[in-house]
A and B are shown apart, each in its own frame.
Chain A
Amino acid sequence: MVTMVTAGDHIDPVTQEIVEGKLAATVDEMGIVMAKTSMSPVIYEVLDFACGLLTSEGELVAQMNGITLFTGTFGTQVKALIRRFAGDIADGDVLLTNDPYAGGTHACDFAVVKPIFADGAIVAYAINVAHYLDVGGSVPGSLAPNATSVFQEGLRLAGVKIVRGDVLSSELTHIIRENVRLPDIAIGDLTAQIATVRVAARRMLELSGKYGAATVKAAFATLIAASERQSRAAIAALPDGTYFATDIIDGDGVTKYPIEVQVAVTIEGDSITADFTGCPGAVAGPINCSRGALQSACRTVIKALVGPQAPSNEGWFRPLEVIAPTGTIFTAEKPSPTGWYYEGSVHASELVWKALAPLMPSRFSAGSYSSLCVAYVSGMDSRGQPFIHIEPQHGGWGASEERDGANALIALTDGDTYNYSIEIIEARFPLLVRRYGFNTEGGSGAGKRRGGFGVIREYEILSDDASAYCSLGRTETAPWGMAGGSAGTVNLLQVVSSEGAESRDYGREAHIPLRRGDVLRVITGGGGGWGDPREREAHLIEQDIDNGFLTEATASEAYGHRRRIAG
Chain B
Amino acid sequence: MFMYLCSHTAWGAELSEIFINWVTLYAQEDQTLAEEIYQNAIDQLENPIDLNQVNREDLEKFAFLSDFQIENLLEYRHDFKFFATKYELCLVEGFDENTLALLLPFVWVKEDNEWVNFSTKHLFKNINYKAVSRFDYLFQPQKGYTNQQYLGKPWAGYLHFWLKNSFLSISSLAEKDRGEPFIGPYNKGFDFYSGHIQVKNIHALKTFVVGDYRAQFGQGLIIGGNYTFSGSNFSSFSKRNDHISGYKSTGESQFLRGAGLHFSAKNWQFNLLSSIKYIDKADGIHRTMQQWQQKKEGYAWCIGANISARYTHFKVGTTFLYDDYTQLAFVGLDYRTYWKNIQFSGEIGINHQGKIATIHTVHATLNSTFSWILQLRYYGKDYNNAYGYNSNTDTSFKHGEAGIISGIQWQMFKGAQLNGYMDLYKKLDHAYRISKPSVAYKTYVSFTYLFDDNQQLFAKWQWSKQEQNFSGSENGILPTYDYHKNSVVVQYSGTFTNGLFLKSSVVANSYQFFDQQVNWGYVIYQDIGYKHPYFQCTARICFFDVPQYEQKITVYEHDVPYTYSNTVYFGNGIRSYLNVGIFPYRGLGIYFKIGHWYFLHQQEIGSGNETIPGPHKTNLHLLLQYKW
* Chain A partners chain B: no
Residues of A in contact with B (beta carbons under 8 Å apart): none
Question: Which residues of B are interface residues toward A (Cβ below 8 A)?
Answer: none
